[in-house]
Homo-oligomer: A and B are copies of this chain.
Amino acid sequence: MAVPEFMEYVEKHQNDFVERLRKAVAIPSVSGDPNHRPDVFRMSEFLVNELKALGASVETRDLGKQDFHGTPLDLPPVVLATVGNDPAKKTILVYGHYDVQPALKEDGWATDPFVLVEDDKQRLIGRGSSDDKGPVLGWINVVEAHKNLGLELPVNIKFCLEGMEESGSEGLDDLIYQEAGEYFKDVDAVTISDNYWLGTTKPCLTYGLRGVSYFHLTVKGPAADLHSGVFGGTIHEPMTDLFAVMSKLVQPDGKILVPGVYDQVRAVTDEEEATYATLDFKLDDLHGAVGNKTNIHPDVKSVLQHRWRYPSLSLHGVEGAFYNPGDKTVIPAKVTGKFSIRSVPDMEPKKLTELVKKYVNDEFNKLGSKNTMVIECSHDGNHWLASPNHPNYVAAAKATETVYKVKPDLTREGGSIPVTLSFQDALQKNVLLLPMGRGDDGAHSINEKLDRSNYIQGTKLLGVYLHEVSKVEF
């Protein structure tokens, strides 16, 4: 009886929940802009007050200072809140963030980005509506509904809400590892609502992310930049060598040329194959996002497999060369090409770096250049893959069917959400990505929105999920 009662409450009180979102959006908690840093702190206080009012036990963790281009800036705190501590119940860790991307009316917003507006399509428009204030408040709405209905929450909830997600999550990883055996010690599973449906009509559960390994390939020639009139044709030019090597990394059709990379890629199982059939995604969605039809693959399954479960290699740029408009007849003395590889199961970052280094060195040596070359991995983040058969996912799927009357799509993403991996590595628990918003919410763009139905149905989903997950065996 608890679930229908809860769902009815959410339906009835939806305007109150929209008001809560309106208050949150009105606080311009832009973590990337030092002028808005006090607003980020204000936003943390808003959440602390909301949670305390609902009976949560709340503490804030000071993360120290950030070095903002030489100026020390106070980092916004992590809000840690506990609702319930019954040892007989499961404990679900809920992660979210209360900072937002920058937004200015002048960027092209139709309305003031920090005033929540509902349009005639019942879209709640405002910065942070979908990323990630809506989902964070969704969890709070769930707690409120249970409190006001006098219903016991079926699980203990531990909140971990950060204010620097849009600016590199500075300090968060340290806290996660420090608290793994302390604040987070009783956590049974982690649920994050900070991504999106694949399309616009069908909910999904997300169980995989690609990793990323970033490389710097530096070729050094003359001691200083030279004039191409005086020296062109007489010395080995670093740019020539750089282009020769970087052109050997990937084909125009996306095929990575570093030997051994594909050997590490896990084969597609029949089970995985089956998940693509039902996905809410069309080629038009890709064409719309790209702005034209420059896709490599002709069908949805191929596109999504190459986004989610095959590696890709992108050339990002060159440091040290001429980059302005106009003409400059320089021979750059030292150039650094930047590229990255999106990695997938079962690629290992260390092994990948070895393969890349060996290949790049071999290709450079073939050139017969007198310049010197160094290839370095500047950063690697592993891929992440959870089993969609884990009881945590099964519970979320059941909740989705209850609320949306449809089986959720099982999706992965091409990018990385580093906190996912941090929680999994530090806590060794299942992590579930349970999105609230749609694929067209425009999280980092102008006119960011969260459909009212996604907010309200999403609040129901989060609550019902807690009930379902309380019943499964981990």
Interface residues of A (CB under 8 A from B): 210, 212, 214, 221-224, 226-237, 239-241, 243-244, 246-247, 250-254, 286, 289-297, 303, 306-307, 310-319, 321-325, 327-332, 338, 340, 342, 367-371, 378-379, 413-416
Contacts and interface: CB of A to CB of B under 8 A. Distances in A.
A252 B229 contact: no
Given A236-B294, A237-B314, A252-B367, A378 B229 contact: no
Given A235-B286, A253-B368, 4 more contacts: A232-B313, A240-B252, A319-B325, A327-B379
Contacts of A291: 222-224
Contact of A296 (B212, B234, B325, B414): B234
Contact of A329 (B214, B223, B240, B296): B214
A465 to B, nearest CB: 26
A290 B238 CA distance: 13
Given A229-B416, A414-B231, A212 B329 contact: yes
B222 A292 contact: yes
Contact of A222 (B229, B290, B414): B290
A361 to B, nearest CB: 15
B367 A223 contact: no
Given A222-B290, A327-B338, A329-B314, A254 B233 contact: yes
Contact of A229 (B234, B251, B323, B415): B415
A232 B314 contact: yes
Most chain B CB within a 10 A radius of its CB, from A230, A331, A413: A230
A317 B327 contact: no
8 tightest Cβ-Cβ pairs between the two chains A and B: A223-B291, A229-B415, A233-B312, A317-B322, A247-B247, A232-B312, A317-B321, A239-B315
A175 B415 CA distance: 59
Nearest to A445: B224
A234 B297 contact: yes
A316 B227 CA distance: 10
8 contacts: A214-B327, A226-B290, A229-B342, A239-B316, A243-B247, A294-B371, A316-B331, A317-B321
Contacts of A340: 228, 327, 329
A318 B318 contact: yes
A293 B342 contact: no
Given A228-B312, A329-B340, A414 B319 contact: no
A227 B294 contact: no
A412 to B, nearest CB: 11
Given A227-B415, A415-B227, A328 B314 contact: no
B252 A236 contact: yes
Contacts of A378: 327
Nearest to A340: B329
A140 to B, nearest CB: 29
Nearest to A302: B234
